[in-house]
A and B are shown apart, each in its own frame.
Chain A
Amino acid sequence: MNALYKHRLFWPIASLLALIAINAIARPQFIKVTVRDGELYGALVTILKDSAPLMLVALGMTIVIATRGIDLSVGAIMAVSGAVALTIIDGSGSPDNLATVLIAVVVALLVALILGAWNGLLVTVLGIQPIVATLVLMLAGRGAALLITGGEITTVNSAPFKWMSGGYLVALPVAFLIGLLAITIMGLIERRTALGVLTEAVGINPEASRLAGVRARGIIWGAYMVSGILAGVAGLIYASRISAADANAAGVFIELYAILAVVLGGTSLNGGKFSIAGTVVGVFIIQTLDSTILFLGIPSAQSPVFFGFVVAIVVVVQSPRVRTALGSLGGRRRSRGTSGPSTDTVEVAR
């Protein structure tokens, strides 16, 4: 039990379960999952499905943050990627053709990759601070997306493109499976090869890792490219959700929610140690919180306050100092808490 409690994902997962429990008590149909025409349907499935764009962006953000960086341009890259894909599909004259859609997707992802590489270039070769380097694209990218769509919302009626967000495969939403695929690939590459350790080394001490022979430049550059392409996929899913490229609204503030998800998952903004599983839990916390606001019927004007309040609670509960303080206050009944801050968390909060 103690080991479980000490695990660094204990508090994030506990927060997520608590949120789900509150929803389930308030409205029991929240946890009801029904099967309709061989497809799962229900509030929890919707959370899995709708979390895909944030999941992809947050995964990329995790790696970038691990290198001591930050990527503010992800929302703009989403807008560009959606705009590129839909402009191609719209201009093709055969929106239902699978080949057209594939070309559009590939071109959009290439553009996203190039934009990510541009960020990496500014950060690694030119040595610009990540927050400034990616701010450039954050501000300019959305304008570029608007130029591509000519300032309009490009709408297409394309079944194959819509399948990306609305389709199902083995009873599960395709969007969720894309997210799952990204999690798996990231997990395998970062944790089953040395890349994860090298990334952490670069984040903890770039100079020391350079002296130890780690090629920091390539690792950091790669992180921004991964973030760019994941944002590109997120942009496609977003555009597919509404069958339209809404360059003004696509991915607005998603960079901040992604950073929040990474932090909720226990990865420090100081770089170094990162947790992909933590980020996944963080994303689900944010998405569930979004649904909670709808489910509890919190008025629009108050929902940002509610959101901020819950996030504040989750962050405070995770803080090692608060946990120590709670532990010593709580006496015997809270004896489990007196074990103090776990070594993991201390490292994370370094």
Chain B
Amino acid sequence: MMKKRFISTIAIAGAAAMALTACSSDPEPGASGSAAGGGGGDGEVITVGFAQTGSESGWRSANTDSMKEAFSAENGFDLIFNAADNDTAAQITAVRSFINQGVDAIVIAPIVEDGWDDVLTEAKNAGIPVILEDRTVSSPEDLYAAWVGLDFEKEGTMAGEWAAAEFGDTETKMVVLEGTTGSAPANDRATGFDAAIEGTMIEKIDSQTGDFTRDGGKSVMEGFLQNYGVDGIDLVYAHNDDMALGAIEAIEAAGAVPGEDIKIISIDAVHDGMQALVDGKINYIVECNPLLGELAAGLVKDVLAGNDVERTVYVEDQAFDQAAAEAALPDRKY
């Protein structure tokens, strides 16, 4: 009860805070807009609950948009959307409420790997299939129907192979801007890259976490530049575009030219990153495709129709150099 009152207090305060800042707000229902289910329908409409992690990055927004588009009313879906703001407990609560509402299928982008057994068992007992999107869970495989997502290690490998081909024959000093310590993309992108450059003349002289943020990337790069000097670094490998964009700021502030004096390789291919690639400030980007919506929607339909589905579905990633980026940028959805 205390908790309830506390939460309602926060809600009131939140409403007040929003009213205060409304002068310049752009109330796009992107962050936490919900499309509440309007009853059972005719049996033709598939009601799907989607528990998103939150809206922590540009990648995540693009992912949310893609899911909303794929699970639209035109495609025969009624989507109940929930963004948990990276709060694991809130996400589990959301999934439980999907079960109580009796949805036809549940799609989850799990915030963390652990702690899903109970709620997934409840869904199974209620006969509701669960599709995992983007991240995985540690629960037994029979508790969910399928997983659709990305191969982070392959992204690292693709980035590393390009680096090996371009710089492998000359002595190259590389620094790495790691993602959040311990996260799957950070670990796997490092593993894939390191394996691909093994035996080449690329030497990893330092590696630090920039927490996947622009400010983190800038701060760490400033430190690297002071430690090794502009001439002591030839190549930057950033685990995502945002950190690469931060590193660009740091390199420019140090009086060097990013993309020329210091080459940059990055992963993600969000819009700002692609723009920097076109502008010549980044040299190579491996895509981390957020457009999982259609695949997920297809999986949901197949599972409900009783078809056999692949348990693990990888989305194909592309890679861009500067010329390819210029060609691709105008048509990009994100």
A→B interface (CB under 8 Å): 27, 29-30, 36-37, 41-43, 46, 50, 80, 84, 87-88, 91, 107, 111, 114-115, 118, 136-137, 139-141, 143-144, 146-153, 155, 166, 238, 241-244, 246, 248-250, 290-291, 293-295, 297, 299-301, 303
Q: Which stretch in B144-152, B191-199, B223-231, B281-289 binds the other chain? A: B223-231
Question: In the complex, are the beta carbons of B206 and A297 less than 8 A apart?
Answer: yes
Bound CA–CA A50/B208 (angstroms): 18
- Is the pair B226, A29 in contact by a Cβ cutoff of 8 Å? yes
> Cβ of A37: which chain B residues have Cβ within 8 Å of it?
255
CA distance A303 to B220 in the complex (A): 13
Residue in A118, A294, A301 whose CB lies within 8 Å of B20: A118
What's the nearest-Cβ distance from chain B to residue A302, in Å?
A: 9
Determine how close the nearest CB of chain B comes to the CB of A249; give it in whole angstroms.
4
In the bound complex, how far is the Cα of B207 from the Cα of A238, in angstroms? 24
| Contact call B223/A139, Cβ cutoff below 8 A | no
Interface contact B208-A246, CB-CB below 8 Å:
no
Contacts of B214 in A (CB 8 A): 153, 242, 244, 246, 249
The answer to whether A294 touches B178, judged by C-beta atoms less than 8 angstroms apart, is no
Cβ-based interface call for B56 (8 A): yes
Please tell me if the beta carbons of B213 and A144 are within 8 angstroms of each other in the complex. Answer: no
* Closest B residue by C-beta to A114: B20
Which of these, B14, B26, B64, contacts A144 with CB under 8 Å?
A: B14
Tell whether A148 pairs with B21 under 8 Å between CB atoms, given A153-B58, A249-B215, A301-B182.
Answer: yes
B236 to A: closest C-beta gap in Å: 14
Q: Chain A's nearest CB lies how many Å from the CB of B210?
A: 9
- B27: interface (CB < 8 Å): yes
A147/B27 contact (C-beta < 8 A), A46-B222, A137-B13, A155-B272 known:
yes
Residues of B within 8 A of A146 (CB): 31, 55
Q: Which residues of B contact A143 (CB under 8 A)?
A: 14, 31-32, 85
Partner of A140, one of B10, B24, B58, B211: B10
- 21 of the cross-chain contacts (CB-CB < 8 Å) are A43-B223, A46-B222, A87-B24, A87-B26, A111-B20, A118-B16, A140-B10, A148-B26, A150-B30, A150-B31, A151-B61, A152-B30, A152-B61, A153-B242, A155-B272, A166-B249, A241-B215, A242-B249, A249-B216, A294-B227, A300-B208
CB-CB nearest in chain A for B227: A295
Inter-chain CA distance A136–B249, complex, in Å, is: 34
The chain B residue sitting closest to A43, CB to CB, is B226
Q: How large is the interface on B (under 10, 10 to 19, 20 to 34, 35 or more residues)?
A: 35 or more
Q: Residues of B with Cβ closer than 8 Å to A?
A: 9-10, 13-14, 16-18, 20-21, 23-28, 30-32, 55-58, 60-61, 64, 85, 178, 181-182, 206-209, 211, 213-216, 218-220, 222-224, 226-227, 229, 242, 245-246, 249, 253-255, 272
Consensus secondary structure, chain A interface: helix
Chain A contacts of B226 at CB under 8 A? Answer: 29-30, 42-43, 46, 295
Contacts of B9 in A (CB 8 A): 136
Q: Is B21 a contact of A246 with CB atoms below 8 Å?
A: no
A42 contacts across to B, CB distance below 8 A: 226
Contacts of A294 in B (CB 8 A): 208, 219-220, 223-224, 227
**Smallest distance from the beta carbon of A337 to chain B beta carbons, Å?**
35
Q: Are A147 and B31 in contact (CB under 8 A)?
A: yes
Nearest CB in chain A: distance from B117 CB, A: 28
Given A242-B245, A294-B224: A144 and B17 interface contact (C-beta under 8 Å): yes
Nearest-Cβ distance from residue A227 to partner chain B, whole angstroms: 16
Task: Give every chain B residue within 8 A of A84 (Cβ-Cβ).
Answer: 21, 24
8 cross-chain pairs, A with B, having the tightest CB-CB distances, nearest first:
A294-B223, A140-B14, A300-B209, A151-B55, A249-B213, A242-B214, A136-B13, A150-B28
Q: Are A107 and B17 in contact (CB under 8 A)?
A: no
B86 to chain A, nearest CB (A): 9
Most B CB contacts (10 A, CB to CB) among A46, A118, A151, A250 go to A151
State the CA gap A51–B255 with chains docked (Å): 21
Please determine whether A50 and B222 come into contact, CB atoms closer than 8 angstroms. Answer: yes
Which residue of B10, B24, B27, B242 contacts A107 across the interface (Cβ within 8 Å)? B24
Q: In the bound complex, what is the Cα–Cα distance between A152 and B63 (angstroms)?
A: 12
